[in-house]
Amino acid sequence: MSADEQCVAVIPLQCADASFKAQQVVAVAGSGLAVTFEEIYTRFRRPVWALAKRLTQSDEEALDACQEIFLRIWRGLDGFRNEAKLSTWVFQIAWNFLRSYRRSRGRQPFSIESLDDDKVVSIGAVRDRAPDAERRVIASEGLNWVGQALGRLAEHHRIVLWLRDGEDLSYEDIAAVLDVPIGTVRSRLARARRALRNEVRP
Amino acid sequence: MIDEKTDEILSRHLDGDLDAEEARLLTERLKRDPAIVEGLNEMQRLRQSLRQLALDERPPKVLDQMVRPLRRAGRPMRQRWAAAALVAAAAVVVVGVIVVEEIGRTGWMPWTQTEKAERQIFALSNLPARDPDAPIGAVESLLSREDPEPTLAEPELLEMIGPLNFPPGSIDFVMAIKIDEVQIPISFVEGARGLELVLEIEQGQVVSCTPQDGIGNTSTADEICRLMISIAGTGLGDGQHRGVVVRWKREGR
């Protein structure tokens, strides 16, 4: 038994966020181990929060959304089928809710004014301080810069990019979450990466 | 400038999605074209940045407090829900809901003496003092209790769900009340501090949510259902006190 497998078998869903893969969650489901809400919350509080934050671009709205998403997860626990990947199921719930949440709020396209004050980085200032692309990306200002650039992307680009590069979901998992063919994920991801690159360029 | 087709190849390469022949062709191009190398490097750096952004996210502690009742409740009791829904199918449950955005400032005087007696079952006294900064979430009693049966003489706070503050005359979001085939009028206090709403529910879904001028419908009910409401919006209240108080009672006893 590998270290990862042992981790899944003994303390499922409590592995470190960064190392916990969707495939391991399948092993949990396949093993017949019960998945409790507490375990799900422990595992997914950060990813769900991060997704909500990226899509709402507001701490307050992200908090509201997370509360509802976890309520839906709690309600749906009995309906969760073990053959489904837990991560896919959770992200599906989160995405479906966030999509309707944004529509219900008549969300307008991204505007930089909607960002929190402490997260706003002056475009001019960043450009002055970061004369090359690498510095923009690596420095902390660069992370903010990339985050803001991500926020300016179309929602269908933002979500696919976040699930793939932010949360390391596979093409198959993203296709399941978004309910689109894998080919669509593939092409949309390429366009999203291209769009993001254009956004961060001076 | 890298063309779209090349970008797709680079993107797939980044994800390990190229077959052997595609990978060989890309390797050849990378040897010849520094712009493509730079494009790939930039794509990789952006990917690392996004991953770092994701890992750096830290949910606020208040989320833990909001979700605590669910964490303590464990799994939902589906059979209990189903039983309640079956009984509820033949019943009408009246639920009083009051916006609490002014708790602590004026207290509650939601009903006048001229109103119908049955409405008194929804009349709420002053709510227990709450820390205005306390998180808004379902109180534990709702989720842990098997059969909540508040009485007329002893109205009870069953759930506080939030946030709730919506523009007068409109509702911009309503979701999920998990009761099948039952009409549930929900009355909000009318007046300076709130609105009255009537939620119509069919097969577990909210099909209408109508702000009313007067006091909402009332009716008899012979069973209590568990109810979970979530309403969110903006615009009403002082932004400090938000939430929904839900009470219900069994009638006809």
Tell me the nearest-neighbour CA distance from A140 into chain B, angstroms: 10
User: Is the confidence at residue A188, as pLDDT, over 90?
Assistant: yes
Give which of B219, B242, B243 is closest to B229, Cα–Cα: B243
Which of A45, A171, A196 lies closest to B63 in CB terms?
Answer: A45
For an interface test with B, the pick among A67, A150, A163, A174 (most B C-beta atoms closer than 10 Å) comes out as: A67
State the ipTM, two decimals: 0.71
Q: Which residues of B touch A200 (CB under 8 A)?
A: 46
Kindly give, in sequence order, each residue whose CB lies less than 8 Å from that of residue B147, ignoring residues fewer than 6 positions away.
B224
Contact B74 A59 (CB under 8 A): no
**pLDDT (0 to 100) of residue A34:** 54
For an interface test with B, the pick among A49, A53, A74 (most B C-beta atoms closer than 10 Å) comes out as: A74
B2: tokens are 């890298």
User: Is the confidence at residue A40, as pLDDT, over 80?
Assistant: yes
**pLDDT (0 to 100) of residue A166:** 93
Burial class (CB in 10 A: 0-12, 13-18, 19+), B91: buried
Instruction: Please indicate whether residue A50 or residue B244 has the higher confidence score (pLDDT).
Output: A50
> What's the CA gap between A42 and A58, in Å, rounded?
22
CB B138 within 8 A of CB B70: yes
* Token pair 């002082």: residue: B238
* Mean pLDDT within A146-171: 93
Q: What is the mean pLDDT of chain A?
A: 70
Instruction: Please indicate whether residue B111 or residue A49 has the higher confidence score (pLDDT).
Output: A49
**pLDDT (0 to 100) of residue B11:** 93
Tell me the nearest-neighbour CA distance from A78 into chain B, angstroms: 7
Tell me the nearest-neighbour CA distance from B97 into chain A, angstroms: 19
Positions of chain B with pLDDT under 50: 76-253
List of long-range contacts for A132-135, beta carbons under 8 Å, 24+ apart? A133/A200, A133/A201, A133/B42, A133/B45, A134/B45
Instruction: For chain B, give every domain's residue range.
Output: 4-56, 74-247
Q: In the 8-state DSSP scheme, what is residue B191?
A: B
Burial class (CB in 10 A: 0-12, 13-18, 19+), A37: buried
Which of A37, A50, A133 lies closest to B74 in CB terms?
Answer: A37
User: Per-residue pLDDT tens for B22-43?
Assistant: 989 998 999 999 999 998 989 9
CB B233 within 8 A of CB B164: yes
Contact B228 A72 (CB under 8 A): no
CB B36 within 8 A of CB B10: yes
User: Per-residue pLDDT tens for A56-108?
Assistant: 988 888 988 998 898 888 878 777 766 668 889 999 999 999 988 877 666 54
Instruction: Please indicate whether residue B247 or residue A148 has the higher confidence score (pLDDT).
Output: A148
User: Per-residue pLDDT tens for A2-23?
Assistant: 332 221 211 112 222 222 222 2
Contact A162 B50 (CB under 8 A): yes
Which of B46, B73, B163 lies closest to A137 in CB terms?
Answer: B46
Q: Which domains does chain A have, with CATH numbers?
A: 1-107 (1.10.1740.10), 110-202 (1.10.10.10)
Contact A75 B7 (CB under 8 A): no
E-assigned strand segments in B178-229: 186-188, 196-202, 205-212
The full 3-state SS of chain A, as one line of letters, equals: CCHHHHHHHHCCCCCCHHHCCHHHHHHHHHCCCCCCHHHHHHHHHHHHHHHHHHHHCCHHHHHHHHHHHHHHHHHHHHHCCCCCCHHHHHHHHHHHHHHHHHHHCCCCCCCHHHCCHHHCCCHHHHHHHCCCHHHHHHCHHHHHHHHHHHHHCCHHHHHHHHHHHHCCCCHHHHHHHHCCCHHHHHHHHHHHHHHHHHHHCC
Contact A137 B45 (CB under 8 A): yes
Kindly give, in sequence order, each residue whose CB lies less than 8 Å from that of residue A31, ignoring residues fewer than 6 positions away.
A8, A9, A12
Which of A49, A138, A165 lies closest to B51 in CB terms?
Answer: A165
**pLDDT (0 to 100) of residue B203:** 44
B204: left (phi over 0), alpha (psi -120 to 50) or beta: left
Name the residue type at position B118: E
Contact B71 A37 (CB under 8 A): yes
CB B67 within 8 A of CB A68: no
Beta-carbon pairs below 8 A across chains A and B: 146
**Under DSSP, is residue B72 helix (H, G, I), strand (E, B) or coil?**
helix
**pLDDT (0 to 100) of residue B189:** 29
